[in-house]
Amino acid sequence: MNKLLIVDTVYSLNQKGAAILLTVILLLIMVTLITLYTGKIQSFEHQIVINTQNQKWAKASAKAGLNQALAMLNVNKIWPIAGLSGNLEDNSTFSIYATTESLSSYRKLITIRSNGMSADGLAKATVTEKALIYPILFNSPPAPLMVNHGFSSAGEFELAANPNGLGTAFPLSLWSGAEVALSGTQHHSCILSEFNAGNCATNTYSDHTSKLDDIADGSTSFPADLFSYLFNIPSSEWLELQQQSDFVLVDCDTLDINSWGVIWVNGDCDVSAGAQIGNDSEPIILIIFDGDIEFQNDVVMYGLVFAFKPLGSTKILDINMQTNSAVHGSVVTNYQLGTKSLFMRVVFRPDVMQKLQNSKKLQRVARIPGSWHDF
């Protein structure tokens, strides 16, 4: 009886030992699995962090490439045939490609695609945006002189006409929304060759004895807002154009043959005798804001003069050009001329007018709203 009890007890103890051992083994397996699983999760999380960081670097690189492309367009106003590439400090890289579509009026639509890649080459991103290259001068004046309210009886002029201003072989010398009376003996218009030969006063289109079709006065099609007509900006928002100007001055004292771009002058513009402003290969756009214009003897300017009187101004303004002074290009004003018994001389130069729109220094770059995307 005692032997059986001892054997049974030993057997029971062996079973309990085996159960404990099995439990320990199972716990060890579970701990091992949990450890392996945790390590794997941590590895996944680490990889996710790396991938996220790489993707951010790739996007940052793509955006950097896009900004570089836009900066290059602002300077050169043209896109090179070959693509561009570069890298950031973290060795992520970008490559830039673009297509150019020519539009009307010297405008170009540029579609830029910038591809960014992380330093390890595992993450890539692409951003695309469109930009418009456009001339500041939206509409080129078709006449040497455009004047909103015509001339008073005191003002006189000499104009070398645009030979094709009213169509092929139909000249245009003056365009105005008001009637212009050619009452003075110094009122005359002519072709460019006669002006160059010094015969504009004798071989004329129109003069004080006869007003022909080259004087398009009382025109119902004359622009109601000359500011908007020239620059595609309403006159009430003139500050926008001032901010786009290359120079903002308080007088014309520093203007010379090397002047370039869009020049905005606040107040009177008095140019000393013998001065040359701009040149025929690089004409300028000169905007005189609420001021008189006085060219002393033998002053020559190449480009466009826009004499602008803002709404609310009570000044009586005018333009005067003394002996042998002239603008080679066009003069536009939104107020009546000749109120101070003055004289002006304008020579229409088709080559100069064309350069006012296709010159890189007279063009701007604008990003197209809503065109940016990263997909």
**Tens of pLDDT along 317-339?**
999 999 999 999 999 999 999 88
My answer on whether 169 and 131 are in the same domain is no
pLDDT at residue 203, rounded to an integer: 92
Last residue of a domain, one of 69, 101, 135: 135
Query: Does 325 share its domain with 240?
Result: yes
Would residue 375 count as lying in a domain?
Answer: no
Q: Are residues 214 and 294 in the same domain?
A: yes
| Residue at 369 is within a domain | no
Is there a single domain that holds both residue 56 and residue 159? no
For the chain, list residues with pLDDT below 70.
1-17, 38-51, 81, 153-154, 341
Residues 126 and 215 in one domain: no
* Residue 370 domain-assigned (yes or no): no
pLDDT of residue 152: 80
Tens of pLDDT, residues 71-100: 989 888 888 767 788 888 888 899 999 999
127 and 216 part of one domain: no
Of 135, 170, 191, the position where a domain reaches its end is 135
Whether residue 268 is found in the same domain as residue 333: yes
State the SS3 of the chain: CHHHHHHHHHHHHHHHHHHHHHHHHHHHHHHHHHHHHHHHHHHHHHHHHHHHHHHHHHHHHHHHHHHHHHHHHHHHCCCCCCCEEEECCCCCEEEEEEEEEECCCCCEEEEEEEEEECCCCCCEEEEEEEEEEEECCCCCCCCCEEECCCECCCCEEEEECECCECECCCCECEEECCCCCCCCCCCEEECHHHHHCCCCCCCCCCECCECCCCEECCCCCCCCCHHHHHHCCCHHHHHHHHHHCCEEECCCCCCCCCCCCEEEEECCEEECCCCEECECCECEEEEEECCCEEECCCCEEEEEEEEECCCCCCCCCCEEECCCCEEEEEEEECCCECCCCCEEEEECCHHHHHHHHHCHHHEEEEECCCCCECC
| Shared domain check, 182 and 121 | no
Q: Are residues 164 and 86 in the same domain?
A: no
Same-domain pairing of 316 and 168: yes
Quote the pLDDT of residue 175: 97
Domain identity same for 178 and 312: yes
Provide the pLDDT for residue 364: 95
Q: Decide which of 114, 135, 156 is a domain's last residue.
A: 135
Residue span of the structural domain in which 262 resides: 145-362
Q: What is the pLDDT of residue 363?
A: 95
Q: How many domains does the chain divide into?
A: 2
Examine residue 374 and state whether it is found in any structural domain, yes or no.
no
Q: Same domain, yes or no, for 168 and 86?
A: no
